[in-house]
Amino acid sequence: MTRILIATKNPDKFREISELLEGYSIEFLSLLDFPEIPGADEKGLTLIENSREKALDAFKKTGIPSVADDTGLVVDALHGMPGVFSARFAGENATYRDNREKLLKLMEGVTDRRARFVTVVTFVKNEDEIYSFEGEVEGFITTEERGSQGFGYDSIFLYPQLGLTFAEIPIEIKNKISHRARAFREFGRFLELHESGIS
């Protein structure tokens, strides 16, 4: 069986990505399977820089073809913030709640609540074969948290087509419409073409 390392130590993200990639004859591992290996530092100023660095770092340390994503919540009224800093918007050791509370505080009284999630996925087959894929979904920032599913900013991101936040949408539906789903769908199409040669 071929193997791909999903370069994350975040169990929520690994579970979601694994579900998005169901159906392939590939064994998916995460960095949780390699506790001695630290995750890559996210020093990039763009999502693609971070996703590429994480995937390349994992490949170099394990020799296993690796895939990583970086996701940013882009809020128009905040000039694109938190963007690439979404995971640490409220500080280096911020929790999901810390980040959401900071964002809602900054958005108090703001009428333009347009936002979008952007995910960039990078797959490193080897150091000479590196591929990137992107997914995006538009929505709005709510004025309060809604829903208990999902993680990150899901409970304050309204998906207008359904009138629900990502935390109110069942995971099986979210995994068809989300930014991460769209990016990994592109990656999945790539796997369908190249699956036999991943090694």
Enumerate the active-site residues. Answer: 70
> Rg for the chain (alpha carbons), in Å?
17
Report d(CA 165, CA 154) in Å as an integer.
Answer: 6
The conformational region for residue 174 under phi > 0 = left, psi -120 to 50 = alpha, else beta, is alpha
Report d(CA 37, CA 182) in Å as an integer.
Answer: 29
Strands, DSSP E only, in the chain? Answer: 2-6, 26-30, 66-75, 82-83, 114-126, 129-141, 157-159, 164-165
